[in-house]
Structure 1
């Protein structure tokens, strides 16, 4: 029996309780950030990607359940209360959903703070990771303030769209941190032909346009988040058609990238990454067409938002797989070929 094992009054070892397990897990998490290794920094960076992707999807769920104004004021939930209180205009369920999403922001903030602590305390400290890490808590603050704008504008579709696109930007920074934490600081070396890498950047731009078209379509169609919310005044059929055109452009670019990677015998990781991206896009396209023909049910819209986040992450991953900065711990030499948020 070791000294740290719990004992009963009779001096016998007793099974650890749930509180013991939670305490031990909390201590492990604390030490992984306070006394980090390069591996634990990378795990915290991955946690940053997960929580930013997660709150993007749960934010959409708030709107899809009609809970966008479940907490009708900001920063308070209801007039005079930071927590849900009985309110005639909103049901208890809507208030709980919106308030729960606000609470998730604190989880994202906690992970962001842990990331900053880890990259500041890891040895050796890497400046690029520090810069990327600070984006996380700053971004959470910006998102929280913009959330207040969304509420005070009564879910104006412009403010709601910007809220989503800010989340997309946070995912970029989080994924850049995750990718850079697993490699060195040498100048980026292309693993594919220059034109193929350029095609990858064109694909990123096309997916971003697709996401913008998606939020405009969402802001024009149903599921506004509340009966009082306004909508874009565009013709829904025209907006959907433009969004569909953007989908086909992205699919065409992805297929072209995958084909180019195969015929040039590019590294297997890059080819597999492009293949995964194509698979995610095809699944996303199926969901999109099904939701359209079923009159846009909320559940499928939620899956479509989740799919959009996965497409974005898979696209970013492909771009990073087409170049190398050497193994983690390698000494940097020379000048960077490209250094946009650590690419």
Structure 2
């Protein structure tokens, strides 16, 4: 009993801090919730790839139930218990993503209690729970289509949309609401927009390669009917276009003496792209082992995040509203 009491005493400060992070949110805690949304959305994208790479895509052959008569894994002759456990575990992670999404929305709404209310943050935060619901429903489409590569591809791209929405929330919660002001030459910022579009095209071509390759998620799953060598070459061509545009962006930022944060952001993006390229070439020459494919999926998400970061670093909306003073927060806290 004493041990339990000590454990409760140790956990109480963390629990209080967690509660206050969304119910008595500040600009700092709002940003932390947005960062958490980025992490969990990238994370569930990678675990979703792991489901496919382990052949567990139909481990739960029905939706929303796992089997025809059970919401949790039950013994069936057509699927191994380990595959069912992997698929069901990924489904459970959806609730973690939903919890973080709800935290984002609550933090954005409660931010207004001290006069810091920002409707733009509420709208952006609302995209998180909405996106989780859409993704969950689309997951049902993926299962009922027997892992059709089109539905699987859309599932991944929706995740990238969720990541983009979460990163936008993260960026906007760290700045003000003044009109957007360029920090770099107009043409350089335009290049950043074209680079973002090129990276999204790269993601689209990447899912075509995945839908043509060997890791279907289940023996019953269909594949795209493209020639794998042709789509890999196309993917490689787009990769080199993206890398070239990134180098051009980095060079332009350097020669125009643009803000250091933008230059460092472009350098980080180039580094992530080159590392991702190394993983891609290695997995190709090693006949696409599952582990490296999963690492490549993580790399794709990180390239996307790094690209979005560069775009936001090339403009400013002024400083974010000042956090309320302790005197202003205390009366609200006392009502807990």
Quickly name the TM-score band, shorter chain normalised: over 0.9
With the length of structure 2 as denominator, give the TM-score of the two structures: 0.93
1:72 equivalenced with 2:67 (yes/no): no
1:50 aligned counterpart, secondary structure: helix
Is residue 2:138 matched to residue 1:149?
no
- Name the structure 1 match of 2:303: 311
In structure 2, distance between residues paired with 1:278 and 1:16: 51
Spell out, residue by residue over 1:4-54, the C-alpha distance to the aligned partner (whole angstroms, 9 max, x if none). Answer: xxx95xxxxx79644544454333212211111111111111111111111
Q: Does 1:90 align with 2:82?
A: no
Distance 1:90 1:296, change over 3 A: same
The answer for the alignment partner of 1:295 in structure 2 is 287
Match of 2:326 in 1: none
Deviations 1:157-182 (A, max 9, x none): 00000000000000010000000000
Deviation of residue 301 (structure 1)? 0.2
Specify whether residues 329 and 104 from structure 1 end up closer, same or farther in structure 2 by C-alpha distance, changes over 3 A only.
Answer: same
Q: 1:63 corresponds to which residue?
A: 52
The equivalent of 1:258 in structure 2 is 250
Tell me, in whole angstroms, the C-alpha distance in 1 between the residues paired with 2:11 and 2:92.
Answer: 20
1:341 counterpart residue number? none
Distance 2:13 2:84 in 1: 34
**Secondary structure of 1:122's partner?**
helix
Q: Give the counterpart of 2:188 among 196, 199, 207.
A: 196
Inter-partner Cα distance in structure 2 for 1:81 and 1:68: 17
- Aligned-partner Cα distance in 2 for 1:270–1:103: 38
User: For residues 12 and 61 of structure 2, what CA distance do their matches in structure 1 show?
Assistant: 36
Alignment of 1:208 onto 2:195:
no
In structure 1, distance between residues paired with 2:237 and 2:167: 28
The count of aligned residue pairs is 319
| TM-score, structure 1 as length reference | 0.91
Q: What CA distance in whole angstroms lies between the structure 2 residues aligned with 1:312 and 1:188?
A: 22
**1:21–1:149 CA distance, 2 compared to 1 (3 A):** farther
In structure 1, the residue matched to 2:217 is: 225
Higher helix residue share? 2
The CA deviation at 1:79 is 1.2
RMSD: 1.4
For 1:169, the equivalent position in structure 2 comes to 161
Structure 2, gaps ≥5 residues long? 323-336
Q: Distance in 2 between matches of 1:283 and 1:232?
A: 28
2:18 aligned with 1:26, yes or no?
no
> Counterparts of 1:47 and 1:143 in 2: how far apart (Å)?
18
Gapped regions of structure 1 (runs ≥ 5): 1-6, 9-13, 331-343
